[in-house]
Structure 1
Amino acid sequence: MKNIVPKFHAKHLNWLMPLILSGIMSGAISCFNLLLNKGWSNQFISVWLHAWSMSWLMAFPLILVVLPLVRKFLMRFVQMPNQSAK
């Protein structure tokens, strides 16, 4: 049986991973903050979806810019395993 799920090329991980991660994180945080600050209401879902979309519009570009900077910064403090020891 042939696999019918489309596969992305590995080069797309550089934007797919931040896209999915920023969507999950901004959705969870906006939902949590909305519940804490406003509580549940009949309009909660529509208000939350609007808040989430605005948060995601900020989160995705921000993570695209910040992630390489954080990675570069952390490489100063992380000792990578010796590749020739294999």
Structure 2
Amino acid sequence: MNPARFAPILFGFLVSGLMSCLVSLVATLRTSGLTAETSTKWMEAWTTSWPVAFAAILVVAPAVRRLVARLVRSEA
């Protein structure tokens, strides 16, 4: 077994975690404002959104990589 083959999954896990954390914070602050309950609402939103974001990035990432490869020229 080669652990390097799991790099895309680990990358997706970490990126989806960080992005869903930031986006859920912004959405929570916009809808609820900064209150005593903000952190609880934020964590609820984050724990719901992270699995969705992780699944989405695993599905979408290969297509995005192909699109990027078409849009940029390789240095020959």
Note whether the superposition's TM-score is higher than 0.5: yes
Partner residue in 2 for 1:11: 5
The gaps in structure 1 that reach 5 residues or longer are: 1-7
User: Please, what TM-score do these two structures have when normalized by structure 1?
Assistant: 0.79
Structure having the higher Rg: 1
Give CA deviations for 1:16-37 in whole Å, capped at 9, x if unaligned.
0010000000001110111122
- Identical aligned pairs, as a percentage? 33
RMSD over equivalenced CA pairs, Å: 1.5
TM-score normalised according to structure 2 size: 0.88
User: Which stretches in structure 2 are left out of the alignment for 5+ residues?
Assistant: none
User: 1:49-68: per-residue Cα shift (whole Å, max 9, x none)?
Assistant: 11001111110000001010
Aligned positions, number: 75
- Deviating 4+ runs (over 3 angstroms): none
Bigger share in helix: 2
* 1:68 alignment partner in structure 2: 62
